[in-house]
Amino acid sequence: MDRHSSDEDDDRQTLIHQNDTKHLPRQIPTSPRASTAPRSGFHIEELESQIRRRFKLTFNKRYLFAIFLPLLLIPIFLSTDIRSLFSSNISSLKFNKVSDQLKESQLQALYLLNQQLTSLLSLWNHTFVNSNDNVSAVQFDDIKASLLNQITLNKHIQQTLLSPHKTGNTLQNATVLDPAYAGYSFDRCRKVDLKFSERRTIEWKPKPNKFLFAICLSGQMSNHLICLEKHMFFAAVLNRALVIPSSKFDYQYNRVLDTEHINDCVGKKAVIPFEDFMEMKKNHAHIDRFICYFSSPQPCYVDEEHLKKLRSLGISMGKLESAWKSEDIKKPSQKTIKDLEEKFASDDDVIAIGDVFFAEMERDWVTQPGGPIAHKCKTLIEPSKLILLTAQRFIQTFLGSNFIALHFRRHGFLKFCNAKKPSCFYPIPQAADCITRMVERANTPIIYLSTDAAESETGLLQSMVVLNGKTIPLVKRPPRNSAEKWDALLYRHGIEDDPQVEAMLDKTICAMASVFIGAPGSTFTEDILRLRKDWGTASLCDEYLCQGEGPNFIAGEE
């Protein structure tokens, strides 16, 4: 545009110059005589004609100038910073000395920062070759992450200082390190290496027509799933197929679990739904031995009402017997496989073992990643395919790959936690501080909130989870909306609005998070941690809410 404007200026100047030359009046010869003699009428008329021509020429020049001047200024105005046009020279004259001093100080600061960067990189390379055995893995990772943050900050300062010295897109005399280059990247919340290949396992080889009837009654679904997992270990030790309880006696497991998945993983018909079992027994089955793992506070942790439900399903049984006379659910003792084989081995076709949720046996073996049973899958007890796909669709719709999952249990948790020492029920502001610290540590932009808390609590929590002036969104599963298709599978198969399906969906989403913050003392949290461990999604940053600190205020007792 500047080039075109310049061309137009030259053309117009040439045009005006030619007009001026063409219309110049002829010079009138003068002499001493002529200057003193009276002018003739012809001379007067000629002079008047010349004046008129000169006035007309002057008018035409002013008219042309008035027309062309705006046309000349428009392209200049559009292509030029007017303030810099008038002030640049003055500024350069007045502040040239100050500018030189500023540049000198900037370059000096850049030199010092470059020296600092060299020292930091040297510290990185030499200090962290081997970690100190007295420092925990998490603390060690935090130190490395803090050091890398300083290196990154140094890089940003250098870029800022160098920005006035740019030549095009190139920084002059710049050597700026990208921490993601040459192996300097570091993820302080990386996945845990659980060493699945080192698992200790037992083969599950059910004998023909030998069954173990699972009894799980304590607590809610999460407790029952843990109980069911332990029953599977019993069944493997005793070489029996496990009978999944009826939905008329227990939860409707076929809505949240896929029993065929378990059989496929083991490679045998190791798990049988109650309906299939009863069909094999022609709707009349007898429990040959009903053995109680716990004898206190009551045998088998089963009451008369549940025994009546079993009988109503076509199940007959003999008298309950206790494996140990003084095994108490409040103080369970450690048991070994040898103990289990001695007390529960039997030649009878069908046996039942009372609730084993509180049982403590071969803990390191049973709780290892993937569980104690040999199989070809990541885990045996996992959400059904429908729930798994729905969770993935929800994450793709609302969360993305990098998010924190928070199990924030509140309903009925105040009294439960305050009965423990220390309490695990935290005031909202303290909880918000703990969550914010984790957001900063994990560098995640969003939180999935799995909670039973009231809106008054979650609303306050949302307002207080703020990092660097930015509110971190707390996302909950929204109410049903036909315009959203992430949950279409549940509605298509008629399992929407089922509390157990929704609970399992929450667990699945939490199990897929980058980082998980759990509720201490909650089996819902423990089942999520089990899934994360088995699926290989467990993070070094996974922890309980405000782990390592007690509530800053605790209410009195009743």
Q: Examine residue 552 and state whether it is found in any structural domain, yes or no.
A: no
Confidence of residue 507 (pLDDT cuts 50, 70, 90): very high
Q: Examine residue 14 and state whether it is found in any structural domain, yes or no.
A: no
Spatial distance between the Cα atoms of 460 and 430, rounded to a whole number of angstroms: 12
Spatial distance between the Cα atoms of 515 and 189, rounded to a whole number of angstroms: 7
Q: Examine residue 527 and state whether it is found in any structural domain, yes or no.
A: yes
- The vertex-454 CA angle with 504 and 473, nearest 5°, equals 75
Q: Do 480 and 512 belong together in one domain?
A: yes
Amino acid occupying residue 132: N
Q: Do 216 and 353 belong together in one domain?
A: yes
What pLDDT is attached to residue 164? 63
Cβ contacts of residue 110 below 8 Å, gap of 6+? 158, 161, 162
Burial 168-204 (b: 16+ CB within 10 A, else e): eeebeeeeebebeeeeeebebbeebebeeeeeeeeeb
CATH of the domain at 455: 3.40.50.11350
Report whether 203 contacts 236 (CB < 8 A): yes
Spatial distance between the Cα atoms of 313 and 253, rounded to a whole number of angstroms: 17
What pLDDT is attached to residue 105? 66
What mean pLDDT, rounded, does the chain reach? Answer: 80
Q: Examine residue 550 and state whether it is found in any structural domain, yes or no.
A: no
Q: Do 486 and 345 belong together in one domain?
A: no
Q: What is the pTM of this model?
A: 0.71
Confidence of residue 284 (pLDDT cuts 50, 70, 90): confident
Please count the structural domains in the chain.
Answer: 2
Give percent of the chain with pLDDT exceeding 90: 55
Confidence of residue 202 (pLDDT cuts 50, 70, 90): very high
pLDDT at 438 over 50: yes
Q: Do 373 and 450 belong together in one domain?
A: no
Half-sphere exposure of 73 (CA within 13 A, CB side): 7
Sign of CA dihedral 443, 445, 447, 448: negative
Q: Do 439 and 330 belong together in one domain?
A: no
What pLDDT is attached to residue 208? 94
Q: Work out the average pLDDT over 216-243.
A: 95
Lowest mean pLDDT among 21-30, 286-295, 443-452: 21-30
Q: Work out the average pLDDT over 11-17.
A: 35
Among 380, 402, 427, residue at a domain's last position: 380
Q: Examine residue 102 and state whether it is found in any structural domain, yes or no.
A: no
- Residue 28 or residue 115, greater confidence: 115
- pLDDT tens sequence across 161-199: 666 665 544 444 444 444 444 455 556 788 988 887 788
Q: Examine residue 324 and state whether it is found in any structural domain, yes or no.
A: yes
- Residue 106 or residue 202, greater confidence: 202
Give the closest residue to 401 by CA, choosing from 479, 512, 324, 483.
512
pLDDT at 15 over 70: no
pLDDT at 236 over 50: yes
Q: Do 448 and 362 belong together in one domain?
A: no
Among 380, 395, 428, residue at a domain's last position: 380
Among 361, 380, 399, residue at a domain's last position: 380
Q: Do 376 and 395 belong together in one domain?
A: no
Q: Find residue 166's DSSP bridge partners.
A: 171
Give percent of the chain with pLDDT exceeding 70: 70
- pLDDT tens sequence across 486-506: 999 999 999 988 999 999 999
CATH of the domain at 282: 3.40.50
Q: Do 420 and 463 belong together in one domain?
A: yes
pLDDT at 552 over 60: yes
Spatial distance between the Cα atoms of 420 and 380, rounded to a whole number of angstroms: 33
Q: Do 233 and 260 belong together in one domain?
A: yes
Confidence of residue 283 (pLDDT cuts 50, 70, 90): confident
Sign of CA dihedral 296, 300, 302, 303: negative
What pLDDT is attached to residue 494? 92
Report whether 404 contacts 515 (CB < 8 A): yes
Tokens of 296: 């206190």
Spatial distance between the Cα atoms of 3 and 76, rounded to a whole number of angstroms: 10
With 0-12 / 13-18 / 19 or more C-beta atoms within 10 angstroms meaning exposed / middle / buried, residue 56 is exposed
Q: Do 366 and 432 belong together in one domain?
A: no
- Residue 161 or residue 524, greater confidence: 524
Instruction: Supply the range of the domain harboring residue 315.
Output: 211-380
- pLDDT tens sequence across 147-163: 766 776 676 677 666 66
Q: Do 321 and 417 belong together in one domain?
A: no
Confidence of residue 96 (pLDDT cuts 50, 70, 90): low
Confidence of residue 68 (pLDDT cuts 50, 70, 90): very low
What pLDDT is attached to residue 146? 65
- pLDDT tens sequence across 390-431: 999 999 999 999 999 999 999 889 999 999 988 999 999 999
Ranges of beta strands (E only) in 318-387 are 320-322, 334-335, 350-353, 360-361
Q: Examine residue 52 and state whether it is found in any structural domain, yes or no.
A: no
Q: Work out the average pLDDT over 79-96.
A: 50
What pLDDT is attached to residue 5? 38
Q: Do 265 and 406 belong together in one domain?
A: no
Confidence of residue 142 (pLDDT cuts 50, 70, 90): low
Report whether 440 contacts 432 (CB < 8 A): no
Confidence of residue 266 (pLDDT cuts 50, 70, 90): very high
Q: Work out the average pLDDT over 439-449.
A: 93
Q: Examine residue 515 and state whether it is found in any structural domain, yes or no.
A: yes
Give the closest residue to 449 by CA, choosing from 537, 552, 457, 441.
457
What pLDDT is attached to residue 170? 43
